[in-house]
Structure 1
Amino acid sequence: MAKIVIIDRSLDETQVEGKEGLSVMEIIRDSGFDELLALCGGCCSCATCHVYVDPTFSSLLPAMSDEENDLLDGSSSRRAESRLSCQLFFSDALDGLRVTIAPED
């Protein structure tokens, strides 16, 4: 099974199984990470599932939508590798994906 590495706000790394078809947000939440609030439940309306994606995986991810970009613009911790984890759906092609949970705004 494909894996995803989640780095929490304390910079502790945890490797978990990534389930095909689930969003990265769902995988993080279902793995017990309380730091990722995901208040809107994955509707791309709150940006509380903000993560930093390891740049080596950027080319494997879908392009950012205007809605996602606008929500991230409201974050004081936005970086070049910022994404909303609810907009990233996991597949075996993303085996080894590394994401860091962004600071809470």
Structure 2
Amino acid sequence: MTDVTFILRDGSRRTLDIPEGSSVMQAAVMENLKGIDGECGGCLSCATCHVYIEAIGAGELPPIDEEENALLDGVAAERRPESRLSCQILATPGLSGLVLRVPERQM
């Protein structure tokens, strides 16, 4: 399991234990975490799972590929250098301790 903490819009924090290999977005949606919509179900076509990386665990995130980069150009909240789509982040033991901030809006 990988512990991932979300900083929600109201500033509160919620930590999820995510099974290895599951996407961060899937876990957030299954836990009804407010602010992560995941409308496309992780098919990389909606960008409603946008997050800001606050802190990374001991591992590294996979690099942003061309499709994710293109979708990040159209996110509803401000795109920042630390912007990622949570559907593209798979839980691994090295990412335990990952902290993600939910943006003010997804749409």
Q: Same fold (TM over 0.5)?
A: yes
28-37 vs 17-26, which deviates more? 28-37
* Distance of 1:82 and 1:55 partners within structure 2: 12
In structure 1, what is the equivalent of residue 31 of structure 2?
31
Q: Which amino acid aligns with 1:90?
A: A
- Calculate percent identity across the aligned residue pairs: 39
| 1:60 and 2:60 aligned | yes
In structure 2, what is the equivalent of residue 20 of structure 1?
20
* Distance of 1:34 and 1:54 partners within structure 2: 18
Q: For each residue in 1:36-78, what CA deviation from the matched residue of structure 2 results, as whole angstroms up to 9, or x when unmatched? A: 1111000000100000112545x60111011111111112411
Query: Residues 61 and 7 from structure 1, CA distance in 2 versus in 1: closer, same or farther, beyond 3 angstroms?
Result: same
CA contact (8 A) 2:8 2:34 kept: no
| 1:92 and 2:93 aligned | yes
In structure 1, what is the equivalent of residue 47 of structure 2?
47
- Name the count of aligned residue pairs: 105
The gaps in structure 2 that reach 5 residues or longer are none
In structure 1, what is the equivalent of residue 2 of structure 2?
2
- TM-score, normalised relative to structure 2: 0.88
Aligned residue for 2:72, secondary structure, equals: helix
- TM-score, normalised relative to structure 1: 0.89
* RMSD value, Cα: 1.8
* Distance of 1:9 and 1:37 partners within structure 2: 13
